Structure 1
Amino acid sequence: MEIIKNLVPASKYNIKCPYTMNAQFIVVHNTANDASAANEIAYMIRNNNQVSFHYAVDDVEVVQGIPENRNTWHAGDGGNGRGNRNGIAVEICYSRSGGDRFIKAEKNAAKFIASKLKEKGWGIDKVKKHQDFANKYCPHRTLDMGWNRFLNMIQSELNTSNSSGQNTSTVLKRGSRGTQVRYLQMNLSGLGYKGVSIDGIYGPGTESGVRRFQKAEGLNVDGIAGPNTLNRMDSNIKGIQNKLKSKGYYKGSIDGMFGPGTKSAVITFQKANRLVADGIPGKNTMAKLNEVIKPQPKPGKLYRVQTGAFSKRSNADNLVKELKKKGYDAIVVKQGNLYKVQTGAFSKRENADKLVAQLKKDGFEAFVI
C-alpha cells in the first residue's frame, strides 16, 4: 500500500510534535468526521491546535503527516503520557457517517497496521485503542462494530502476507512503490547492503542493492526483484532466524523479515561471541553462528578397567590405596549395593586390555567393562 507523505513543516514541530519518540505501539482512532485522509492531514497541519497524528487512512490511500520519530498529541493522556509519547497514531476516516467508505477505510487500516507490525517485528499485542489511554470512547465506530473483530482483521492480514511479509511471487523493479518495496528495502538493509533507503520507492539505491545481492547469491544480475531473488532472500533470512532461535537469541516468528527483532537478536549474538555488534549477519557472524549450532559429536564408548567390587566401602578404599602405591590412579564407584574400584578410561579397547595385562602382572585381578 503506497503511503503519501505530507509532512508537517519543522517550523511547527513545537506545536504538533515537540519531542523525539521511540515508538512502542500503534494507537487506533476514528476521526469522527467524513473527510478524506488527505484533507484530515492538511487540516491538522494547517491549524495551530495541539492535536496531531501520524497517519490518516481512508478508502483509497494512507497519508502521513508526522514522522514516526516524533511524538504526536492524540491520546489525551498528557504531556508525558505513554500514548502521546510512545504511540504511532492512526486515524481511520469517514467514521462519522460510516457506510461503505468507512468499511473500506477500516480494511485499508487493518492492512496498513499489519504492514507496520511486520516492519517493526511487533505482534498484535502492540495494537492499542485510544480508549486505552483516555476516558474517551474511541475509535467509536470500530468499537461499535467490535474491537476484537478489528484485531482479527489485522491478524488475518498478518497471516495471509505469506509466513513472511514479502510476497515472493511478485516482481519489483525501478519505479515500483509501496509496502512490498519497503519490505525489500528493509531486508536488503538488514543484510548489510548499504545505500538502500527504506522509503517504499524502488529507485537507484534499491536497484543497486538488489544487483549486489543477486551477484553474491549467484543469481541473474538484472536489478529486478523477481520470484527467484525474493525467494532466495526470504530463505536466507528465515535460515538466520531459525539458527538464532535455536540458540535462544531470537524470540519472534520465522517470517523472513529482517526487522528490528531480527537485528536485535543478531546484535545480542554478536556481543555474546565477541564479534563486531553491528546487527549485520556478515561472513564472520554467519561463520560463528554455523559453528555454534553445529551438532556436537556424542562422546564415544569408554572402556574402563575394574579391579574389584565390595559390599563394604572400607574394603574398596583399601584396594584403592594398594593400587596407588603401585602407581595406578583408582577411584571408587558406587553402583547399587556394591562399591566398585575402577582405574583408567580409554576410547580404544586395546589400551584398556594393555592396562589389564599390566595390573595382572602386578598381582591384581582386573577386567574391562
Structure 2
Amino acid sequence: MGRRTFLAAAGLTAATAALTAAAGRAAARPAAAAFRVPGEDVRHTRTWMAWPDSTSIWGNTLNGVQTDIALIARTIAKYEPVYLCANSASAAKARSLCGSTVTVVTTIPVDDCWMRDTGPIFRSDGAGGLDAVGLNFNGWGNKQTHAKDALVAGRIAAYVGTPFTAAGLVGEGGAVEQDGAGTLMATRSSLVNRNRNPNMSQSQVEAALRTAYGASKVIWFDGVTGKDITDDHVDATSRFLAPGRAVVQMPLASDNDAYAKDARQQYQVLSAATTAGGTRMTVEKLQGPDYNKIRSTNPEFLASFANYYVCNGAVISGQFGDTRADTAAKATLTRLFPGRVIEQLNIDRLGTGGGGIHCVTQQQPVP
C-alpha cells in the first residue's frame, strides 16, 4: 500500500466527517498577523514525529516502517530533542526501537506517521513569542482514516502551551514550503482542489495561506492531480534554501512521466519567479536517482532526495541504492548546507508508502 497510488478511503466514519466540518467552521478565525512561519533552518526546540501502528493502513509492511521511523528519530535525536506521539498500546515498542534519546508521548493519539501533514505549523513573532496554526487536516481529501490525526495539531499546541489557531483552509504542511521571509510555494493540484477546499478560488486559498503563514506571496505550480494520495506535495520536489534561493530535484532526461514533467515545470517557474521582496530567485538542481538502479522495485516508491529534513546542525536525507546518485546527492547537499552534517538513511520501507523523511517530521522552532 502506498500513498502515491492509494486513493481508496480507509474506513472513513461519520465522526471523521464531523471533525472535518468542525475544522471548517474553526477556519473562519483569522491568524494573528504579527506571526510568521520561520524557515526550517532556524534553530529548533525539538522535532515532532508520530508512531504508526495500523495494519489496516500498512499491512505486512508495518514492522519495517516502524523500523525506519525509529531510525529517523534516533538520527535526529543526535542533534536535537525528538518527541514522538504514540498510541498507548504501541508505546512500549516505540520506546524499545527508538531508545532512550527519544521522548515518547502517549497523551496525543495518532492514526499514522505523517507528522508534516498532521502536526501544527509553529510561528514566531520575532520577539520571543510562539504560536501554532492547524491546517485542518482531512486525510488528504478524505482518502484515509484521520479521526485522531485531525486533532494532532491542536493537541501538540496544547501540550507545548502555545496559542492555537485554525487556518482558513484545509491542507497539509507538506503542501507548502516557506522561506521565512514572506514567500511560499505550493501546488494547485494539492490545495486548489475540491477535496480540500471546495468552493474556494485560487485567490481565496492564497489569501488563507498568506494569513496562516504570515506571508505576502505564493509561487504556484500546477502539480499533479489524482495520482497520489497527496495530489503532489511540493516538498518532494522543490524546497527553499533561504530567501531568494531554492532547490529542485530533477528527473533523468529520459524520464517523461507526469512527475518528471511537473519537476521541470517547477524549475522553470521558480527560475522566472521573484520573492515577496522582489528579489529574483536563484534555483539549484538536485539530481534524482535512476529508478532502474534503486533497491526498491515497488512502483509506488518515492525516491526523493529533496524530501530532506533540516535540523540543528544536520540535514537528514534518504539514500536509495543508486550509488552514483546517492553520492552525488550527498555532495550537492553538502555544498548547499555548509557547516551541517549530511546524514543519508536507508528508509526503503517508508518510501513504499510514498513518503520520506520530511513527511514524517515537524519542527518546533526556538521562539
Please tell me the TM-score bracket, short chain as reference: under 0.3
RCO higher in 1 or 2 (8 Å CA, sep ≥ 6)? 2
- With the length of structure 1 as denominator, give the TM-score of the two structures: 0.26
More strand, by proportion? 2
Greater gyration radius: 1
